[in-house]
Amino acid sequence: MIEILVYGAVISAIYAMLAVGFTLIFGVARILNLAHGAFYALGAYTVYALTANLHVPLLVAAAIAVVGVGLFGVAVERVLVRPLRRSQLAVLMITLSVGLMVEQVLLLTFGSEARNVPSMVEGAYEILGADISAQRLLALAASIVILAGLWLFMQHTRLGSAILAISQDAEAARYMGIPSDRIYSIVMGISAGIAAAAGVLVAPFQTVIPSMGLLPLVKAFSIVIVGGLGSIPGSILGALLLGYTETLIAFEVSIEWSQIVSVAAVLLTLVLRPAGLLGKRAAF
Amino acid sequence: MPLLEIEGLVVHYGKAIALEGVTLTVEPGELVGVLGPNGAGKTTLLKAVSRVVPASGRLSFKNRDLGPMPAHKVVGEGICHCPEGRRLFPELTVLKNLMLGAYLRDDKDGIAADLERVYGLFPVLRERRTQQASTLSGGEQQMVAIGRALMGRPSLLLLDEPSVGIAHRLKNEIFRAIRDIRDSGTAILLVEQDARSAMAVADRIYVLEHGRVTHEGTPASLADDDSIRQAYLGV
C-alpha cells in the first residue's frame, strides 16, 4: 500500500515534468514537439558520458546535462522549427526527425546495450515499513522543486507573464511589444531542460538505452491529451492520474498491463471529452 | 512636423486589396478620428501602423521610417495599440494585463506613476485589479484595454472601436477618458463606427471608404457636408 503511494508519487512527478514541458511549448508556440523524448534521453546519456568517461562529479554532470540540453532545445527551435512554423505538419515532421536523429546518434556513439548511471544518493529509507531507495525520493523531491520553481517563475517574473500572455493571445502580445520569436526559443529551452532533468533523475533506476525517450514521449502526449493540451494544471492532474493508475495496475495485476493505461486513457478522453479534463477547446 | 505621416499606404490580404493608397497625418497631441463603414479598412490601417500586417507605402513616426521595424519595435518607439475587440489576456488579472502594457519599460517609478494615472482615469480598475480580466463587463474590459495601452506611455495611442458592445453610461465615461488622455498631451488615432461620439471629441476627421480617404476636415466642416450627414450621422 505504502509502496503504491510512494512509487506512484515518484512516477507521477516524473510524468508531470515531461508533460508540463510538452504542453508548455505547445500552448505558447503551437509546437507539437515529437523530439521531447529525445531531450529526456539526451539528459540521461549526457550524465552517463560525463560521469563514466570523463569522471565529472555527478552533480556537476547533472547541471551540465540540464543546461546543455536546454541550449540544444533553443538551437532546434531557432534553426529547424522557426522557418517551418507556419505549417503544423512540417513542425511535426521536423521534430520527429530530430527525435529519430538523436536516437541514432546515441546508438552509434554508445551502442545498444543498457548503460548504468550511478545513484546521486545511496541507500534506502524505510517509510512505514516499505523500503524506498533514496534516489527515488530524490527524484520526487527534485521534480516538486523544479515544478514549483517553474510556477513561481511564471507567476512572478516579467518573462513568465509574457509567456502566459502569448499563450492566451499571441496577437495581443505583439501589441505589448513582446518579441514572440525570442520567447518561443526561451520556452523551448525551458521545456527541453525540464525533460533533460527528468532523464537525469531517473537514469539511476531506469534502463538507459538509445530508445529510452520513446515511451516517455508517448506518456507525455497521452497525459496532455487527458489533461487538456496547453493546460499546465491539466498536465499535472493527468500525470497524477496516469502515474497512480499505472502503479496500481503494476502492483495488483502486472507491469505489462500497466502500459495499456495511457492508451486507454487517450481513447476515453478523445471520445468523451476531446478538450481534455482542464482544456478549453479540442486540440485536434 | 507631424508625429505620424502615412503616404500612399497599400495593404493586400492575398488578392483582396484592403487599403489603396491612404495618406494621413497626425500632429503631436492631436486627436484624429477615422470614420467609415464596416470593411472600409479602418482596422487594417491601425494594424499597418503597428506593423502587424505588412504594408507598402511610406510610414514614418517622429521622422523615423517604421517600414522595416517588426511589431515589437514599434511599441518601443512610442506607438501603443488598443486593438479591436479589446483582446485582453483573459486568464490574467487586471493588474497583470496592465503591467504587460509596460513590458518594454524598466523605469519602475514611471510605471508606478502611469499605473496611478490609469486608476485615476478609470477608478473601477483599482477595485478590480486582482480579478481575472474575463470576469469584467465589456465596458470595464475596454477600460483595461485602454489602460494597458497607456502603460506603454505612448506618444501616439491607436484606439480601435472603443465603443463597440458597451453600455451607454460606460461609453460616456470612456469618451471622457479619451478626451482626458488627449488633453494630457498624448496624440490619438481613433477608429470609430459611432460617428457622433467620434466627431464630438476629434480635432480632425478622415472618412475612409473602400480603402481610400474620401473626406477629411474638422468635425464642424464635415458636419456641414450633406453626404457625410446622411451616411454617418443619420440626419
How far apart are alpha carbons A73 and B88 in whole angstroms?
30
Q: What pLDDT, on a 0 to 100 scale, did the predictor assign at position B29?
A: 95
Distances (CA, A) of B117 to A64, A260, B112, B125: 47, 58, 9, 11
Interface contact flag, B96 A161, Cβ < 8 Å: yes
Q: What is the pLDDT of residues B70-79, one digit of tens each?
A: 999 999 999 9
Mean pLDDT of all residues in A200-210: 93
pLDDT in tens, A101-155: 999 999 999 999 999 888 888 888 877 777 888 889 999 999 999 999 999 999 9
What pLDDT score does A120 carry? 82
pLDDT score at B229: 80
Interval A248-283: pLDDT, tens: 998 888 888 888 888 888 898 888 888 888 877 655
Query: Do B103 and A164 make contact, defined as CB atoms within 8 angstroms?
Result: no
Domain that holds residue A136: 2-211
Mean pLDDT value across residues A69-82: 97
Which of B72, B75, B89 is the closest to A168 by Cβ? B89
Residue in B closest to A182 by C-alpha: B72
Quick one: average pLDDT of A2-23?
A: 92
A36 in Cβ contact with A14 (< 8 Å): no
The string of pLDDT tens digits covering residues A157-204 is 999 999 999 999 999 999 999 999 999 999 999 999 999 999 999 999
Convert the pLDDT of each residue in B173-207 to its tens digit: 999 999 999 999 999 999 998 888 999 999 999 99
A·B CB contacts under 8 A: 68
Query: CA of B50: which chain A residue's CA is closest?
Result: A175
Cα A73 to chain center, whole Å?
Answer: 13
Looking at beta carbons, which pairs linking B217-226 to residues 24 or more positions away fall under 8 Å? Answer: B219/B33, B223/B199
Domain count, chain A: 1
For the cut 90, the answer to whether the pLDDT of residue B215 exceeds it is yes
Contact check, Cβ <8 Å, A175/B100: no
Cell 503504491 -> residue: A4
Question: Rounded to an integer, what distance in angstroms lies between the CA atom of residue A5 and that of residue B96?
Answer: 38
Question: A165 and B100 in contact by Cβ < 8 A?
Answer: yes
**CA–CA separation, A21 and A187 (whole Å):** 8
Whether chain B has a CB inside 8 Å of the CB on A104: the answer is no
- Candidates A82, A176, A281: best to mutate against B (most CBs of B within 10 A) is A176
The C-alpha atoms of residue A108 and residue A99 are separated, in whole angstroms, by 15
Is the model more confident about B226 or about A168?
A168
Q: What's the distance, Cα to Cα, between the start and end of chain A in Å? A: 38
Using a CB-CB cut-off of 8 Å, the residues of chain B touching A27 are: none
Q: What's the predicted TM-score (pTM) here?
A: 0.91
Averaged pLDDT of chain B: 93
| A51 has pLDDT over 80 | yes
Mean pLDDT over the full length of chain A: 92
Cα(A4)–Cα(A249) distance, rounded to whole angstroms?
10
* Interface contact A168, partner B, CB < 8 A: yes
Q: Which pLDDT belongs to residue A229?
A: 85
The residue of chain B with its CA nearest to that of A167 is B89
CATH topology of domain B4-86+151-233: Rossmann fold (3.40.50)
A224: three-class secondary structure by DSSP: helix
Q: How far is B1 from chain A (nearest CA, A)?
A: 26
CB contact under 8 A, B81 and A175: yes
CA separation, residue B141 to residues A27, B135, B136, B161, B182 (Å): 24, 9, 6, 13, 21
Judge: A174–B72 Cβ closer than 8 Å, yes or no: yes
Query: How many CB atoms neighbour CB B167 within 10 A?
Result: 11
A138 occurs within a structural domain: yes
Residue A211 C-alpha cell reads as 530508445
Chain B CB contacts of A169 under 8 Å are 87-90
Determine whether the interchain pair A168/B96 forms a contact, defined as Cβ–Cβ distance below 8 Å. no
Q: pLDDT digits over A226-242, tens only?
A: 998 888 899 999 999 99
Which residue type is seen at A38?
A
**What is the distance in angstroms between the CA of the first residue and the CA of the last residue of chain B?**
37
CA angle B138, B140, B143 (to 5 degrees): 115
Calculate the alpha carbon distances from A109 to A105, A112, A113, A222, B125 in Å.
Answer: 6, 9, 11, 30, 60
For residues A45-67, give the mean pLDDT. 94
* pLDDT of the residue at A130: 76
* 3-class state of residue B21 by DSSP: strand
Q: So what's the pLDDT on residue B44?
A: 96
> What pLDDT score does A255 carry?
83
B-proximal residues of A, 170-189, CB under 8 Å = 171-180
Q: pLDDT at position B152, please?
A: 96
Contacts of A174 in chain B (CB under 8 A): 50, 52, 71-72
Q: Is the pLDDT of residue B161 over 70?
A: yes
pLDDT at A284 over 60: no
pLDDT digits (tens, 9 = 90+) for B54-67: 999 999 999 999 98
- If phi > 0 it is left, if psi is from -120 to 50 it is alpha, else beta; for residue A111 that is left
Predicted local distance difference test score (pLDDT) of residue A231: 86
pLDDT at B19 over 60: yes
pLDDT of B64 reads 93
ipTM value: 0.92
What is the phi-psi region of residue A43: left when phi exceeds 0, alpha when psi lies from -120 to 50, beta otherwise?
alpha
